[in-house]
Chain A
Amino acid sequence: MRKRSPYPYWFVLPAAVIFTVLFLVPTIASFWFSLTNWDLFDASFIGFENYQQFFSEPFLLRGVVNTLFFAVLTSGAKTVLGLLLAVLLTSGMFAQGLQRSIVFFPVLVSTIGVGLLFTELMHPTEGVINLALGAVGIPGPGWLTNPKLALFSVAMVDIWRGVGLATLIYIAGLASISPDYYEAARIDGATRLQQFWRVTVPLVRPATTTVIILSLIGGLRLFDLIWAMTRGGPGFASDVLASVVYKQYQAGFYGLSTAGNVILFLLIAVLVVPLAFRFYRKEVDQ
């Protein structure tokens, strides 16, 4: 008789059942439902019509483009600002610990709360931001009502909210760089700037990858902040895939909504998964 392992696979079972039923099954089913005209009771196969619609209807396509723009912009800004803040917050300056906490706290606050707060601050005629600008003689723009600005304004708020996490990850990354490297660089006569580019940037690469992965995923999937601030408006100016998916769901176009979901799925699969797999493989093989 084969000896039973002291680490039986049934330990995995409860998690596997929940995950399979509530995540895997819907995900696999979504590929089928995205090819149908679906109202939750009847689904009739219509081929790729939903996808065709997605890429031919200007306001659906707009959502795809906006999603990419938003994800790249916020993830780039969080990476750059996060690294700079982390360097600053590890320089041993005054009130360093307190400042770390201040920068990080917005990460924990409800996104809806943040969104509603900034919607009021960005009100075109009565918001504090424009009143402050007006006080120094600058006419403030319609942050959320100008179609050219709306998505950008939401992105700014997302960066405000998320940069603390990037900073935190970079701080941990910086801590793992041995001081010997800086010592050696100094002996070679490297300036502070050169140390930053030659030592810090290459050696925090793992942290950079983490920040990019996390913020890309967050940016591509973002829904709650957009929904709290603009609901995709004005018009379709700040619609992203997740808000399009929700709107089509509300309208009862379940097939179309699911097609949007699959497109988002594929975007992440193409943009993020290769990055993540290269990165996490080390951990798997560990």
Chain B
Amino acid sequence: MTRRQLITGLISLACAFVIFVIPFIFVFINASKSAAETARLSFALPQEWRFWQNLVEVVQARDYQLLLAYFNSIVITVGAITLLVIFGAMVGYVLQRRKSGWNKVIYGFVLAGLMMPPAVVPTIWVLQGLGLFKTLHGMILIQVAYGLGFCILLFRAFVSTIPRDLDEAAIVDGAKPWQVFFRVILPLMKPVTVTVIVVQSITIFNDFTHPLYYLPGKENVTVQLTLYNFQSQFVSQLNLLFMNILLVTIPPLLVFIFFNRQIVAGMTAGGVKG
């Protein structure tokens, strides 16, 4: 490393720190203060660290609403991801292996699903007709419908790296198509599956707009909705609002630390190969 690289690095690190890290430190400091101290927001360290008390208070607020919200969000995320992985992998597999005129049509829909805004009120109308409006399983299916495009693209790209000989050998051995897929192909797709799980779980966990439309009602709150609603409840207690922001920031931070590589792979996929 040249001296020049060291100096640029230090200057740039300082800038990155001010622009991207300081806001999060600000959240942490203010989440540890008393309500009176956060009334005037500042970087001054708290006179008395109340991190734990604030945490308990946020969790207990509104009859432990935050716990209910985490429960709902986790149910939605886990449910949707399970279906997305299985159904998305099935489509990606067939799409890559079987060449036919239908592929273009399927591709068109995949891209449309990736780009087009869902028609929200008509979707509510459909959900009501099916009895799925305001239900967690309805929300799960919605997330599946909106996430399929991304998953199919990723799975399809990965299937092309699996040699055809493998499935052909299994077919010769007399395996049925679903056995080939579930016993041979799916286990081989572990790396891309991890990527899909990580990226989609962050997307679904952070989703605010769709639960706002499709999942109204006090017993259906999700983490993002709770955060949004708390802003009006915690106005005179900014410390608790910041604690809440901190609590929704920590899960993606943990995921990021452990799955950095998969996230980077997933987020850049489908784009740059040209």
A/B touching: CB–CB < 8 A = yes
User: Across the interface, which residues of B come within 8 angstroms of A110, CB to CB?
Assistant: 205-206, 208, 223-224, 227, 248-249, 252
Contact with A29, one of B41, B126, B213, B223 (Cβ below 8 angstroms):
B126
User: Across the interface, which residues of A come within 8 angstroms of B188, CB to CB?
Assistant: none
Any chain B CB within 8 A of the CB of A80?
no
Any chain A CB within 8 A of the CB of B192?
no
Any chain A CB within 8 A of the CB of B128?
yes
Contact with A5, one of B21, B98, B245, B253 (Cβ below 8 angstroms):
B98
CA distance in complex: A217, B152 (Å): 19
A99 & B93 in contact (Cβ 8 Å cutoff): no
Q: How many residues of B contact A (CB 8 A)?
A: 100
Any chain B CB within 8 A of the CB of A193?
no
CA distance in complex: A271, B42 (Å): 43
Any chain B CB within 8 A of the CB of A70?
no
Any chain A CB within 8 A of the CB of B107?
yes
Any chain A CB within 8 A of the CB of B162?
no
Flag A238-261 by CB within 8 Å of B: 1 or 0 each.
Answer: 000010011001000010011001
Chain A residues 152-179 with CB under 8 Å of chain B are 160, 165, 168-169, 171-173, 176
Flag A252-276 by CB within 8 Å of B: 1 or 0 each.
Answer: 0010011001101100110011001
User: Across the interface, which residues of B come within 8 angstroms of A11, CB to CB?
Assistant: 90-91, 93-94, 177, 181
Chain B residues 88-142 with CB under 8 Å of chain A are 88, 90-91, 93-95, 97-98, 102-104, 106-107, 109, 111, 113, 115-128, 130, 141-142
User: Across the interface, which residues of A come within 8 angstroms of B205, CB to CB?
Assistant: 110
Contact with B245, one of A8, A99, A117, A283 (Cβ below 8 angstroms):
A117
Q: How many residues of A contact B (CB 8 A)?
A: 99
CA distance in complex: A117, B13 (Å): 22
CA distance in complex: A110, B10 (Å): 29
Any chain B CB within 8 A of the CB of A95?
yes
User: Across the interface, which residues of A come within 8 angstroms of B8, CB to CB?
Assistant: 88, 91, 93-94
CA distance in complex: A106, B256 (Å): 11
Any chain B CB within 8 A of the CB of A194?
no
User: Across the interface, which residues of B come within 8 angstroms of A126, CB to CB?
Assistant: 40-41
Any chain A CB within 8 A of the CB of B87?
yes
Chain A residues 102-126 with CB under 8 Å of chain B are 102-113, 116-118, 120-121, 123, 126
B111 & A99 in contact (Cβ 8 Å cutoff): no
Number of A-B contacts (CB under 8 A): 273
Any chain B CB within 8 A of the CB of A47?
no
Contact with A172, one of B90, B202, B206, B272 (Cβ below 8 angstroms):
B272
In the complex, given contacts A18-B144, A29-B122, what are 18 additional A-B residue pairs having Cβ atoms less than 8 angstroms apart? A6-B180, A7-B177, A8-B94, A11-B93, A12-B94, A12-B95, A19-B109, A22-B145, A26-B126, A30-B121, A99-B13, A123-B41, A126-B40, A128-B42, A169-B268, A169-B271, A284-B103, A286-B160
Residues of B within 8 A of A (CB): 1, 5-10, 12-13, 16-17, 19-21, 23, 26-27, 40-43, 83, 86-88, 90-91, 93-95, 97-98, 102-104, 106-107, 109, 111, 113, 115-128, 130, 141-142, 144-146, 148, 152, 160, 167, 171, 177, 180-181, 202, 205-206, 208-209, 212-213, 223-224, 227-228, 231, 238, 241-242, 245, 248-249, 252-253, 255-256, 260, 263-264, 267-268, 270-274
